[in-house]
Structure 1
Amino acid sequence: MSFFKLIPVGKRVPSILSSSVILSLLACGGSGSSESPAPPTQPPVADTLGSLYTDSTNSLPGGLTGACMDGEAMDFDNDGDLDLVLAFEFTENLILENDGSGNFSTLMPFSNIARDSEDLTVADFDDDGDLDILFVSEDDLIDEFYLNNGDGSFTDVSSRIPVSSTSNAVVAFDINGDGSLDVVIGNNGPNNVLLNDGSANFTDDTSNTFLGADVTQDLELADIDNDGDFDLIVGNETRNEIFINNNDGTFNNESTVRLPDLLAETRDLELGDIDGDGDLDLLVSNVTFFSSTPDVNQLLINDGTGIFTQDNNFSLGGNHVDSDFVDLDRDGDLDIITGTTNIAGGEGNNQALENNGSGSFSGGGFTGSGNLFDIVAADFNGDTKIDLYYCNRGSQDRLYLAN
């Protein structure tokens, strides 16, 4: 789940930096065991965080009670505010148009066919200065690709996607250094690599560029080895992987060197500098939907060279499909908001953890409601504060505006 969620103007560099990375910039200015460590005993922070957000779900259109799997903030109509594009499971994908004050109305510029969309990315694939949209699908194997016409409408060019796979994740970045945004799709099986000719026509380069062949659920991009290009972190249902970019269109699998040997059914990866040392740490959200591996979230600390070790003082368990780093209390560091999911629908047990400034967290605080599958953090009403949109599966999507 990856992307420029906060920057609505101008031509994009790869739109696959996670919202946590951007929020980190805003905040700062600019062998595994089945036994989980006990969570530290710390005071609740409900008054600190809960008073900072107002439930503004009544500013959303009705009917958002399907299976929202992923969302991205983007200014699709170039009016200066951030709209929302949403991917739904077996419901039509849609856009929520923002009036600039955080009030949204429904638009359906896409196919009216209900696909099993699991993830999406927004990027300027045809180099015309506006943001296009790519949805990837799981069970029905049909991806959707739309080019932005620059006037708030889209052209369906799904036939330009030359693969059909059981897909759960997608990111866009320049793989081969030609200046255009290519695509990696995370699959049940070999992950697809699609090269862009600069005009949003893609060729399948999967056989030449190996980027994993597990059951991939999430993809994240970061410059792990500090050489100026994007490396790829792959979240799998077994062991996670890191592929280091050689800056020539090839990658090295350096997972055993850079990641602890932790077996988990991962659903989400989030990057952010949680300890203020200038490098990106990694929060791994895990579940037990299809396996008996530990579902405890893992906080992996970066040593500054792109080698991660587990923080054994951090413990947060219970089927987390999505977590985000957000400066909830606006004190300059990254807090955590996460959802414990009830896979059948209904309400999950969402949680917020407050960062003490050095990377340790106290529990409790603002949560919000819903069966949370994705969090979109962005300024929706133009007051420079970060608001929250909850993509909920089987329950009403919710909007929380910062006070």
Structure 2
Amino acid sequence: MRVFPLLLVLLLLSSTLAGCFDNDPPAECDGVDEGFVVSELVSDVNRMTTANVRMGDLDGDGRLDILSTQPLNGWVSWTRCDTDGCTEEILSVGLTAPVRTQVVDFDQDGSNDLLVADIGILPPSDDLAGSVVLLRRDAEGNFSNETLHSGIGRVACAEAADLDGDGDLDIVVCEFGNLNGSVLWLEQEENGSFSPHEIDARPGAIHAFPFDADDDGDLDLAVSLSQLSEEVNLYRNDGEGNFTLETLMKSDNTWFGMSGLEVYDLDGDGDDDIIYTNGDTLDMDLPEEQYPHDVHGAAWLENDGTGQFTQHELARVWGAYTAKPFDADGDGDIDLVIGTLQFDLVYPGVHQIDLVLLENVGDLTFVRHDLRNSQRYMITFDVGDIDGDGEADLVGGSHTMGNAGNAHRLVELSWQPELVWCE
């Protein structure tokens, strides 16, 4: 365990942005460009291979902790913060290449556990190296490792929820694989064992989130498929764990680059909508005549409350990897922060935009702010009050994959609007 204060605060300056002044301020005026103020949360900032950042109260102290996965290092970082600083503990027992976590009281004993999706191997492969692992935490805070399911293709996600309505927690699993894979769920039996049920026998599942799409009292699944499918799907539950596929969005292009998925009530009408991004820069088959800033981007699917969805465009930006809802400017409505993954070697000469803030100015009308030369390779965010000050914090991590640039393993980001003052 390592203890340290917040180490560094940097103001990331942006280039000319949408929504800024059309002309430079007069010479007698001073100012600060808009951008994100970045606060380092961990001391070892050089291991910038963060795959996922997620919050949850793992130790049950009433404050949100930060769980971030480091698949290249084979561990999960458990970071706890207060107004004086942060403490980091490394969890690695029984893990190979963890990519996703969920804080959940899986055995319902009153102590939160950590469910881990372990991809096993990062490069594309059909090796059966994936697993679902539970780090079970007892009342004294000790962890024990239990592999709940193994011998399957690369696991990209594992989410616990009661999918069959019997009172215990089951698990939906994204078996991304490569040429082979599936979406499946693990039914928890009375003796604590798990029975696998295949939902979709196709590879490329990235995200699967249980939610009640149609307000019928059971949990449906929002799932994104990449590889050759390039879909956002709803798997509608009959209440007993039988799922029917409804495709909400499908691209006809194999180079679409499906990447991120969020389930969130974006329009504030009481039902959950779906936000998705397409921007997998490593989908290498983009035709030369296609401009990546036109092809990649973010959109959302509006739920009418019955599980019927209407698509709305949000923004086009190369390498869009995630779009996180967050009230960045503190005005009471929900903005969106888009993180990108852009590599010079993939599209040399194409201008890079590191982050995009979509500022909600009312009625889901967004003003776009492009941030360049700022926070690179930011592919994952989560939102919550990590220091107990009563305000929601935006926390993110970079996955550099050996590329140069201004990147950080785990940071808090605070929006700084453009300020101009004159004598």
Where on the TM-score scale, by shorter chain, does this alignment land: which range?
A: 0.7 to 0.9
Structure 1 residue 50: deviation in Å? 4.8
Equivalent residue for 1:388?
394
Say if 2:91 is the partner of 1:109: yes
Residues 67, 198 of structure 1: alpha-carbon distance in 2 compared, 3 angstrom cutoff? farther
Matched, 1:150 2:139: yes
1:252 aligns with 2:250: no
Structure 2 counterpart of 1:43, which letter? G
Find runs of 4+ consecutive structure 1 residues off by over 4 angstroms.
Answer: 47-51, 365-368
Cα distance in 1, alignment partners of residues 108 and 98 from structure 2: 25
Runs of 5+ in structure 1 lacking a partner? Answer: 1-40
Contact 2:359 2:367 in 1 (8 A): yes
Corresponding residue for residue 20 of structure 1: none
* Contact 1:192 1:204 (8 Å CA) reproduced: no
2:286 aligns with one of 273, 289, 292: 292
Q: 1:393: how far off? A: 0.7
More strand as a share of residues? 2
> 2:376 — aligned with what?
370
> Aligned equivalents of 2:57 and 2:138: distance in 1?
13
Match of 1:217 in 2: 206
Structure scoring higher RCO (CA < 8 A, sep ≥ 6) equals 1
* 1:43 to 2:19 alignment: yes
Tell me how large the CA RMSD over aligned residues is. Answer: 3.0
Whole-angstrom CA distance in 1 between matches of 2:353 and 2:144: 37
TM-score when scaled to structure 1? Answer: 0.78
Q: Residue 82 in 1 paired to residue 64 in 2?
A: yes
Structure 2 CA distance, aligned partners of 1:151 and 1:366? 45
Task: State the partner residue of 1:191.
Answer: 183
Residues 1:204 and 2:195 aligned together: yes
Q: Output the amino acid matched with 1:331.
A: D
Residue 135 (structure 1) shift: 1.8
2:106 to 125, 130, 137: 125
1:298-353 deviation line (CA, Å, top 9, x unaligned): 222223322222224x32221122221111122222110011113589x9711111
Match of 1:138 in 2: 119
Deviation at 1:147, TM superposition (A): 0.3
Contact in 1 for aligned 2:323/2:338 (Cα 8 Å): yes
- Report if the CA contact (8 A) 2:58-2:114 is conserved: no
Q: Which moved more, 1:381-390 or 1:140-149?
A: 140-149
- How far the C-alpha of 1:401 sits from its partner, in A, is 5.8
Equivalence for 1:302: 303
Equivalent residue of 1:270, what SS? strand
Residues in 2 aligned to 1:344 and 1:82: alpha-carbon distance in whole angstroms:
36
Decide whether aligned partners of structure 1 residues 217 and 243 sit closer, same or farther in structure 2, where only a CA change above 3 A counts: same
Quote the Cα distance in structure 1 between the aligned partners of 2:308 and 2:98. Answer: 33
Partners of 1:342 and 1:242 lie apart in 2 by 29
Computing the radius of gyration from Cα coordinates, the structure with the larger value is 2
Letter in 1 for 2:286: S
Following TM superposition, by how much is the alpha carbon of 1:211 offset from its aligned partner in structure 2, in angstroms?
Answer: 4.1
Q: Gapped runs of 5+ residues in structure 2?
A: 1-16, 22-30, 122-128, 288-294, 346-351, 401-406, 416-423
Number of aligned pairs?
A: 350
> What amino acid is aligned across from residue 39 of structure 2 in structure 1?
S
C-alpha separation between the residues in 1 aligned to 2:163 and 2:184?
A: 12
